[in-house]
Amino acid sequence: MDDADRLKLYQGMADVSRKWVTTLDAKAGFIAAINAALLGFIWSSAKLPEAGTRWPHTCGLVSTALSLLSLCLAMSVVVPRIRIAFASDPDPADATPAIKAVSFYGFVAAKYPPDQSGRFADDVWQLSECDLAREALEQHHAICHVAFAKNYSVQYAGWVWFAALAMTVLGIVVKMAG
């Protein structure tokens, strides 16, 4: 496989990883929305925390706490940012990649001030196909780590939301049983 083929392959891998990140962001948004709906239902329609008896009141408060936890987990999905780690340097803040990370906006903005767009273009034109392929592979690696972290947050947010929903249903049943 020559360098041009590697470049296409690695760019394709990075594109697939980006699509997974987008999917996980959409799932987190959905979980955040259903948590908002559940919280509105608990406090406005069912009024479980305001119930006069102990068990519906407790179920309402526990449901609220679980729903808020799920909401925080879902919102934490937007926090992970792509960072480039350099294994050769123990201090990532001072690290310089072997290949310039020309596709990472953070690297480009940090290394090339707005008035140095010509230097940026010159540096990019000097990269070989092999260098670009390696940069695309490193990008895929970084994106995979972000997707992995987002996946766990979305998964836990979903399970905690189901627990909040179960506590809400239990509170309503106990309230209706009276």
Question: Looking at residue 92, what is its pLDDT?
Answer: 47
The Cα 55–Cα 94 span in angstroms is 56
- pLDDT score recorded for residue 54: 92
Burial class (CB in 10 A: 0-12, 13-18, 19+), 136: buried
Rg of the chain (C-alpha set): 24
pTM above 0.85, yes or no: no
DSSP-based three-state secondary structure for 80: coil
DSSP letter at 90 equals S
Are 175 and 48 in contact by the 8 Å Cβ rule? The answer is yes
Provide the H-helix boundaries in 41-128.
54-75, 105-111, 117-126
pLDDT digits (tens, 9 = 90+) for 111-150: 999 999 999 999 999 998 888 888 888 888 888 888 999 9
